[in-house]
Amino acid sequence: MMSACPPPPSVSGAGDRDPHRFAAGISRSPSSCAQQRKTFHNGAATGIDSKGKRLATTTTARDSHVLILDADPSKAAALKVVMDRYFSVKSDVWSRSRYLCVADDPLDGARRALEYARWSVDEACSLIEANLSWRAKENIDEILKYPLSRDCVRAIRRAFKDEFSGFDVDGYPVYWCPAGRIDIASLKDVVGLEDLVKYHVQTMEFNQQVYLRQISFEKGQTIHRFTCMVDLQGFGPRSLSKAFRETMSAISTIDRDYYYDNFYRVIIVNAPLVFRLFWKTTSALYRAETKAKFIFLDKPSDLERYIHEDQVPARFAPLLHDQPCVFPEDVFQLSKHALAMDTYMKE
C-alpha cells in the first residue's frame, strides 16, 4: 500500500499550488502561471487538430452534457442525484470531490462515474465514496506537493521510456508506452514498488488537475480520456517477470478503482503471438465496451490512420516506417509533459 503523504500545514486552501487556480491562468503567482502557460503552449498541451492547427473553442464543456440531458430523462435524473450529492457547491464533500472533476466541470465527475457504473446511481455513488475514502487515507489531494527524489524519478522514466505527447485524429491526447521495452529489473535496489505506484498516481493527478484541464480550456470542451499507444516490440521473458507483473497489477488496480474511464482507445503494435493468445483468454473478463477500445494493428505503419505523423514523438517515429523505436541507453530526453510536471511540482 502506498504510504500517505505528510499532511499539509493548513487545510484552509492550497494557495499558489491550487491546481484549479493554476491551470485556469489565475494563480496567485503570475510568474509561475506565465511560465506554465508558455510550457504548455509550446506544444505539450495545445489544442490542435490532426493537421496541427489550433482548434476553435466554440463549445463549452457543459454543452456536451446538455445533449444527454435532453435525450434521456432517466440519465438526466441520475446525473441530478449524483450531482446534488457529490458535485454541487452546496455539497458537504465538494471541497474534496472537485478533485475528481476535469476542468472544474462537475458534470464530468458525475457522468464518468455513472457511465462506468452503467448508469446505476447506487454503483456510481459507491465508486465515488471509495475514491474519496482512498484519497483521504492517502492524502492524494496533496500528493503533488511531495515529489519523489530526482534520482528516483529519473530512474523510473529511464525504465519506462513512456511519454504523453500529441493528439490522435479525434483530438484526444496520446500516451505512448513502449511496454515491450519496460525494464523493471533496472530499478532493483533503486526504486521500490511503493515509489513506482506513488509516481504513477502523481502523474495521473497532474494529468487530471493540470494537463487535461489545460487541454480542455484549449479545446473548449472537457477532455478526460487519452488514446494509449502500446508498442510491444521486445516483449519477452522480462515482461513476464514477477517484478513486472506486480508493478503492472498495482498500477492497473489503481487505474481501475480510482481513475476509471480514462482511455478513449488503446492501439497495440508489434504484438507477438504469445501476447495475442494471452489477450484472447483474458479479454473474456472485460466488458464489451472495454474490449471494443483495443485495436491490434497488423503493421505499425497503420498507426497513421489514428495518429498523424506530425503528432508522433521522434522516438516513436520509426513505427510509421515499420521500424523499431530507438531508445539510446546513454540519452535521457524529457518530454514537454514531463518538464511541465517537474516545474509544477517544484513550485
Per-residue pLDDT at 295 exceeds 90: yes
pLDDT at 341 over 70: yes
> With bands split at pLDDT 50, 70 and 90, how would you rate the model's confidence at 23?
very low
Q: Decide if pLDDT at 206 tops 80.
A: yes
Per-residue pLDDT at 146 = 95
Residue 170 — pLDDT band, cuts 50, 70, 90? very high
Q: Are 238 and 183 in contact (CB under 8 A)?
A: yes
pLDDT for position 63 = 43
> Is 54's pLDDT higher than 60?
no
The CB density around residue 330, as the number of other CB atoms within 10 Å, is 4
Residue 189 has pLDDT above 70, yes or no: yes
- pLDDT tens digit string along 213-231? 999 999 999 999 999 999 9
Q: Is 38 helix (H, G, I), strand (E, B) or coil?
A: helix
Q: What is the pLDDT of residue 278?
A: 79
Residue 145 has pLDDT above 70, yes or no: yes
Give residue 15's pLDDT. Answer: 36
How remote is the C-alpha of 82 from its chain's centroid?
Answer: 23
Give me the pLDDT at residue 38, please.
38
How large a percentage of the chain has pLDDT more than 70? 78
Higher pLDDT, 58 or 97: 97
Mean pLDDT to the nearest integer, 319-331: 82
pLDDT of residue 303: 97
Crossing angle of helices 242-258 and 121-138, rounded to 10°: 120
The pLDDT confidence band at residue 242, using thresholds 50, 70 and 90, is confident
Residue 118 has pLDDT above 90, yes or no: yes
Give the pLDDT confidence score for residue 334 in this predicted structure.
Answer: 78
* pLDDT band (50, 70, 90) for residue 330: low
pLDDT at residue 49 greater than cutoff 60: no
The CATH number corresponding to 148-346 among 2.30.30.230, 3.20.20.370, 3.30.43.10, 3.40.525.10 equals: 3.40.525.10
Please, what's the b/e burial string for 81-102 (b: 16 or more CB within 10 A of its CB; e: otherwise)?
ebbebbbbeebebeebbbbbbb
DSSP string covering 190-211: T--HHHHHHHHHHHHHHIIIII
